[in-house]
Homo-oligomer: A and B are copies of this chain.
């Protein structure tokens, strides 16, 4: 007879003091979560092209680890019919499909336990620059995922999106000033205050600050379009050789900061540049397929899209990377193959996700496998 289920707890203690840390994305996962896109003021043509692309991404990841997709009641049967049977589909409503940002940040300790941080979420800036209103369902996503995963929950009033941080799993966090110091997240907090929160909630000791995020990234400068750890001591960085492109100065500044940085173990960082696609722009036809809605960010023909190859997902057995542009896709794939020699590189044409404001990393959230040391 199975024992009575132990109660899940909402904890007010400090994760780092409890012995927990956020593992790197390249550590082992027990699975991956996604949400199903449906809002027609963000996803063109009734979200059908985006749903096809999300399905391709979920299918690719599911070749490397178990995938669960959360979906509203109204879209349940549609999602279940389109997604392959190996992908689990559960009812879980949201305001949009960016689970990297609305979902929990999972932590593990060395004793085989897993917990999650349920950050406050305000749609990337609340009423002062956020992308839509309301965001109440998004702010419940982390709690619902943790309930389904059976993981205790650290709830905090601190506003943070998962796309705003990357960690190396060995004590280092990589982030941007543009996002984490923007008063539309946590008011006028100091750099020191933010570092203290990251140390406490991610179990890191060192924070490496880059400046701005990718040019025109509407999240307000998330790190996960700009740069990421691909292994301890190694970072990939989006790049351009075109000095007239506004992205040049952003990437150049990031490069200089990364060169000067030392990680939590005192190591300098090896930096791998990956040339950006494009620049890419929203077409008139694409913009015409998006509902206009008061309170949601308008999407207009000619808008430059924040495209970057850095926004890939690291699954247990594969890398799922965005494809955008025949001029640059193959070079990016070759670099990723060199950086992840044991993983299969799976490219998915993800322009439809890009049109919605992000890419593969933004719409995925890994669940790490707890380990015992």
Contacts and interface: CB of A to CB of B under 8 A. Distances in A.
A147 B316 contact: no
Main secondary structure of the interface of A (DSSP, over half): loop
Of the four ranges (under 10, 10 to 19, 20 to 34, 35 or more), the interface on chain A belongs to: 35 or more
A371 B221 CA distance: 53
Interface in A1-17: 1-2, 4-9
28 contacts: A2-B30, A2-B66, A2-B369, A4-B64, A4-B65, A4-B66, A4-B86, A5-B31, A5-B66, A5-B67, A5-B86, A5-B88, A7-B85, A7-B86, A8-B88, A73-B93, A73-B140, A77-B140, A80-B147, A88-B147, A88-B150, A90-B90, A90-B91, A90-B144, A90-B148, A91-B91, A91-B92, A91-B93
Interface string A83-111: 01110111111000000000000000000
A62 interface: yes
Interface of A: 1-2, 4-9, 28, 30-31, 62-67, 72-73, 76-77, 80, 84-86, 88-93, 137, 140, 143-144, 147-148, 150, 316, 369
B5 A144 contact: no
A71 to B, nearest CB: 10
A306 to B, nearest CB: 30
A66 B143 CA distance: 19
A88 B145 CA distance: 12
A316 B140 contact: no
Contact of A147 (B31, B86, B89, B147): B89
